[in-house]
Amino acid sequence: MIAEKSGLTVLVFGGISSGKSEYAERLIQQLYSERDGRFYYFTPAAPPEDDEMRAKVKIHRERRPDWLETVECGLNPAEFIDSLSEGDVILFDSVGTLAGRMLMESESGENSGARIEDFLERAGKAGISLVLVSEEVGMTLVSVSEAGRFFQRIMGQLNQQIAASADEVFFINAGIPQKLK
């Protein structure tokens, strides 16, 4: 059960294929049954480049209900807040995709913290609830590449930043949610 308030921020994080997206979708389903407002699925993802990613995206899309409107928000999800209304709910999947795209598109990953902070602040002020999905990359081997270590550091900082300001935080491991906050 998650808190019933407007402008709620929930972080759902875990490793790759841990079940974090599925859990976040269950939270959104719960909110949908309890609240009025519009429900959105924000994705910063670029079009998939290979068959494996196309298949993964297809599974995610097919799993989403019709009432969850998809918004391809690109690298600046905060831009869309002004078009939403108090009481609306956003499932943002995922923080790691946003940070990774920023790195791939020659932007400093350091800017991802400012973009996420702007997104959180604007949504909170507008009374829009957020369920953010993020990747836990600190419980694995240290990357052998400089770029990989940079990404791990950025993700660790982003997860700490979001968790500090979130109303609720869930860690997903092997499909099992653990409420941390």
The response to whether 81 counts as a known ligand-binding position is no
Which residues lie below 8 Å from residue 152, measured CB to CB, with a gap of 6+?
137, 138, 142, 143
In a domain, 3, yes or no: no
- What does the pLDDT look like over 148-175, one tens digit per residue? 999 999 999 999 999 999 999 999 999 9
Residue 127 is labelled as binding a ligand: no
Give the other-Cβ count within 10 Å of 143's Cβ: 14
Other C-beta atoms closer than 10 Å to the C-beta of 79 total: 14
Residue 87 lies in a domain: yes
Residue 102 lies in a domain: yes
- The three-class DSSP label of residue 19 is coil
- Evaluate whether residue 26 is within a structural domain: yes
Residue 5 annotated as part of some ligand binding site: no
Q: Determine if residue 100 is labeled as part of a ligand binding site.
A: no
Q: Where in the sequence numbering do the catalytic residues fall? A: 60
22 is in an annotated binding site: no
Range of the domain at 16: 9-179
pLDDT recorded at residue 115: 87
Q: Is residue 104 part of a domain?
A: yes
User: pLDDT digit string (tens) for 21-37?
Assistant: 999 999 999 999 988 89
CATH for 129: 3.40.50.300
Q: Is residue 4 assigned to a domain?
A: no
In a domain, 16, yes or no: yes
Which pTM value belongs to this model? Answer: 0.92
Q: What's the pLDDT tens digit per position in 92-119?
A: 999 999 998 888 876 666 677 888 999 9
Residue 65 lies in a domain: yes
Rounded to whole angstroms, how far apart are CA atoms 46 and 147?
19
| The pLDDT value given to residue 96 | 93
Number of domains in the chain: 1
